Amino acid sequence: MMEEANRLNSRGALGKDIERVLIDEKTLSRRLAEMGAAIADAYAGKDLLLIAVLKGSVLFLADLMRHIPIPHEIDFMATSSYGADVQSSGVVRILKDLNKSIEGRHVLLVEDIVDSGNTLAYLTGLLAARRPASLEIITLLDKPDRREVDIAVAWTGFSIPNEFVVGYGLDYDERYRNLPYIGILKPSVYADTNTENSME
Ligand code: PRP
């Protein structure tokens, strides 16, 4: 335990807020290599477009696409559901839409986490109406215990318990995205902040 605490603290100011590492860098990297190979197989010879849902999925997208050795393009959408809250609010807002048409293209939606499923339920409905050739979902993390809407996820990196996780793109109140691992945030961190930020 002491060694783990020292290792986290040695990562700088953010590490001290992490209770424990849930998925370390090596495990992430190994899984991304497997997923990239699976995607390359599934989409060989097809016009593949990766659509990342900002902001949480940027690190996942950047690392995943390096493991997909077939031609593909990327685009971005931005949604918001959480605000400063640790619980998903169920309200999805589109903050940024795609730059180009997806009609006739093979679209793979790239998410960092599926929680209630509300974001993806909304996005898949929206994108399906634009008539892509296919529409699938890849997510780094899945919290099945929190699901409110049924979502068909084609590829999942890791199924995780219902803990508040940050790092590798995932934030709490916009911080911790730059941690290179997935960690569980100390409850004292969001207990402190929730007295300052209103719950949505
Ligand atoms: C998170 C995450 C998903 C969504 C999942 O995004 O990136 O998009 O919530 O939750 P759901 O399954 O309950 O809808 P968030 O709104 O926190 O934005 P961010 O990626 O910019 O941090």
Structure confidence by residue, pLDDT tens digits, 151-198: 999 999 999 999 999 999 999 999 999 999 999 999 999 886 555 444
- Residue 164: phi, psi to the nearest 5? -85, 110
69-86: buried (b, 16+ CB within 10 Å) or exposed (e) per residue?
A: eeebeeebbebebbebbb
Class of residue 89 by CB neighbours under 10 A (exposed 0-12, middle 13-18, buried 19+): middle
Contact partners, residue 152, CB within 8 Å, separation at least 6: 137
Residue 111 has pLDDT above 70, yes or no: yes
User: Residue 45 is encoded by which pair of tokens?
Assistant: 């010879």
Contact partners, residue 23, CB within 8 Å, separation at least 6: 158, 160, 168, 181, 182
Contact at 8 Å (CB) between 113 and 140? yes
Predicted confidence at residue 79, as pLDDT, reads 85
Predicted confidence at residue 200, as pLDDT, reads 33
The pLDDT of 44-70, averaged and rounded, is 97
Contact at 8 Å (CB) between 86 and 190? yes
Predicted confidence at residue 191, as pLDDT, reads 86
Predicted confidence at residue 168, as pLDDT, reads 98
Distance 108 CA to ligand 1 centre (A): 17
Q: 70's torsion region: left (phi>0), alpha (psi -120 to 50) or beta? A: beta
The pLDDT of 67-89, averaged and rounded, is 79
Predicted confidence at residue 108, as pLDDT, reads 98
Residue 199 bridge partners (DSSP): none
Q: Whose CA is nearest to atom 3 of ligand 1?
A: 113
* C-beta 142 within 6 A of ligand 1: no
Predicted confidence at residue 4, as pLDDT, reads 60
CA distances from 51 to 22, 54, 70, 138 (A): 26, 9, 16, 10
Distance 150 CA to ligand 1 centre (A): 16
Please write the tens of the pLDDT for every residue from 16-56: 999 999 999 999 999 999 999 999 999 999 999 999 999 99
Read off the pLDDT band of 3 (50, 70, 90): low
In 4-61, where do the E strands start and end?
18-23, 48-54
* C-beta 106 within 6 A of ligand 1: no
Per domain, the residue ranges of the chain are 2-190
Predicted confidence at residue 196, as pLDDT, reads 47
Catalytic residue among 17, 63, 112, 115: 115
The DSSP annotation for 112-154 comes to EEESSSHHHHHHHHHHHTT--SEEEEEEEEE-GGG--S----S
Predicted confidence at residue 99, as pLDDT, reads 87
192 in active site: no
Of the chain, the percentage scoring pLDDT greater than 70 comes to 84
Residue 149 has pLDDT above 50, yes or no: yes
Predicted confidence at residue 197, as pLDDT, reads 44
Cα separation, 181 vs 24, in Å, equals 5
The number of the ligand 1 atom at minimal distance from the alpha carbon of 122 is: 14
Of the chain, the percentage scoring pLDDT greater than 90 comes to 76
Q: Under CATH, which number does the domain 2-190 receive? A: 3.40.50.2020
* Max CA distance (Å), the chain: 54
The number of the ligand 1 atom at minimal distance from the alpha carbon of 112 is: 7
* C-beta 55 within 6 A of ligand 1: yes
The pLDDT of 50-75, averaged and rounded, is 97
Read off the pLDDT band of 199 (50, 70, 90): very low
